[in-house]
Amino acid sequence: MMQRPKTRPTLQQARLKAEKYCAYQERSQLEVKNKLMGMGLTVAETNEILVDLVRDNFINEERFAYAFAKGKLKIKKWGNRKITMALKNKGITEGLIQKVLKEIDPDHYIGELRFNIEKKSRLMKETDPWKKAGKLKQFLIGKGFEPELVFREVDAFLNEH
């Protein structure tokens, strides 16, 4: 059975699809732009819809950045460095990224780091303390936590246990 070729949506259809896309969850302008361009719209049409979406508050970069950072820290247990890189990839400006990261409660951040340390430590089969410390540190740095913070917290954790 042959598939019908996809038809290019009208400007109104594309706007409605973009509104639904943004209403489902917070989106960055770059994500919405890519979605619209993927529908076959021109750059001018895409920009026209983006302006409307921002005006109608379907897209708000600051709201997106806060929701994204909060979710990645709380659910994925990511550190600031990984959150920063992901936000940059979503087209968020450096100034807004710094503003969002300053809003993260330092005690909550350390708590998430310690949660990662405890969970990973329980799952590790490594018995050599040096190797275990190295693997824990490597894992946490990969999760985006700052190396100096990781070293301090892992060493403190291993000295307690």
Helices 106-123/147-160 angle, 10° precision: 60
What average pLDDT does this structure show over 11-24? 96
CB 39: neighbour CB atoms within 10 A?
A: 16
3-state SS, residue 147 = helix
Residues 6 or more apart whose CB falls under 8 angstroms from that of 88 comprise 94, 97
Distance CA 156, CA 45 (A): 56
Give the whole-number percent of the chain exceeding pLDDT 90.
Answer: 92
Asked if 117 and 136 count as a contact pair (C-beta separation under 8 A), the reply is yes
**Among 92, 85, 84, which residue's Cα sits nearest to residue 63?**
92
- Show the tokens assigned to 55: 């005006």
CB 62: neighbour CB atoms within 10 A?
A: 11
28-87 confidence digits (pLDDT tens) = 999 999 999 999 999 999 999 999 999 999 999 999 999 999 999 999 999 999 999 999
Give the whole-number percent of the chain exceeding pLDDT 70.
Answer: 96
Distance CA 137, CA 121 (A): 11
